[in-house]
């Protein structure tokens, strides 16, 4: 009887030791993907500015929703610069920690039957003019597009490294569209390759 009790004590110590070791394993690394904006409702868009006063509505159609329950449809006018601006005032909410990731990715569904040109402007803590900002442009084919902006090795328009850790402003816009257009945005996220 005493022998059996001793065995259980040994087993107990072993289990407890394993548990303690398990608790000491390092915390998991940064997740592979981090949501920046899910375009779910007006509350989530608080502080975000819209360039060109586009018509906008939330849509729940599964064809366009790639995250959560909703996506944001923007309706732009011919010849009117139209876009979404993440101003410096939202920095703590949306624009921090980007330097830990390789890509900014956003799903954009182009509802027209023509290509659309989507440009991005990024300002860091040293940006004062066009040369000291960064720019990235992407052609959207009709239908679904996953737009990817590389964050590693991003350079200023006038040369020199862009400081992603100091990101202050982020703008995605359609400059001088040749026709009225509609696009749906969803699942703006940071990703590791």
Q: Does 87 bind Ca ion (CB under 5 A)?
A: no
Q: How many CB atoms lie within 10 A of CB 24?
A: 6
Contact string 140-179 vs Ca ion (x = CB under 5 A): ----------------------------------------
Task: Give the separation between CA 50 and CA 69, rounded to whole angstroms.
Answer: 22
Nearer to Ca ion, 39 or 174 (CB): 39
Half-sphere exposure of 79 (CA within 13 A, CB side): 0
Q: Does 68 bind Ca ion (CB under 5 A)?
A: yes
End-to-end CA gap in the chain: 59
Stretch that binds Ca ion, among 27-35, 110-118, 166-174, 184-192 (CB under 5 A): 184-192
Stretch that binds Ca ion, among 18-26, 30-38, 73-81, 139-147 (CB under 5 A): 30-38
Q: Does 59 bind Ca ion (CB under 5 A)?
A: no
Backbone phi, psi, residue 12, to 5°? -60, -45
Using the structure block, give the residue that is written with the tokens 């009790």: 5
Nearest to 116 by CA among 86, 150, 76: 76
Q: Does 67 bind Ca ion (CB under 5 A)?
A: yes
Question: What tokens were used for 161?
Answer: 């490294």
Nearer to Ca ion, 99 or 182 (CB): 182
Nearest to 164 by CA among 91, 107, 93: 91
Q: Does 38 bind Ca ion (CB under 5 A)?
A: yes
Nearer to Ca ion, 123 or 186 (CB): 186
Residue choice 107, 123, 124, 186 for contact with Ca ion (CB under 5 A): 186
Backbone phi, psi, residue 75, to 5°? -115, 110
Stretch that binds Ca ion, among 81-89, 105-113, 161-169, 181-189 (CB under 5 A): 181-189
- Residues lying near Ca ion in the complex (CB under 5 A): 38-39, 67-68, 186
């Amino acid at each position: 009887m005493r022998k059996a009790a001793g065995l259980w004590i040994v087993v107990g110590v072993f289990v407890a030791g394993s548990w303690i070791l398990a608790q000491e394993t390092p915390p998991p690394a940064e997740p592979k993907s981090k949501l920046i904006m899910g375009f779910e409702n007006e509350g989530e868009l608080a502080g975000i500015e819209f360039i060109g006063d586009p018509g906008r509505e939330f849509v729940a159609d599964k064809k366009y929703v790639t995250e959560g329950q909703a996506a944001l449809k923007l309706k732009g006018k011919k010849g009117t610069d139209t876009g979404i601006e993440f101003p410096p005032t939202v920095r703590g909410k949306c624009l921090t920690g980007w330097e830990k990731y390789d890509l900014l990715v956003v799903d954009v569904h182009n509802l027209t039957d023509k290509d659309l040109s989507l440009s991005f402007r990024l300002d860091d803590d040293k940006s004062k003019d066009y040369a000291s900002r960064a720019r990235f442009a992407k052609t959207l084919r009709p239908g679904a597009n996953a737009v990817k902006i590389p964050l590693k090795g991003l350079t200023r328009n006038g040369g020199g490294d862009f400081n992603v850790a100091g990101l202050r402003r982020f703008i995605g816009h359609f400059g001088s569209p040749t026709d009225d257009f509609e696009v749906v945005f969803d699942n703006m996220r940071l990703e590791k390759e």
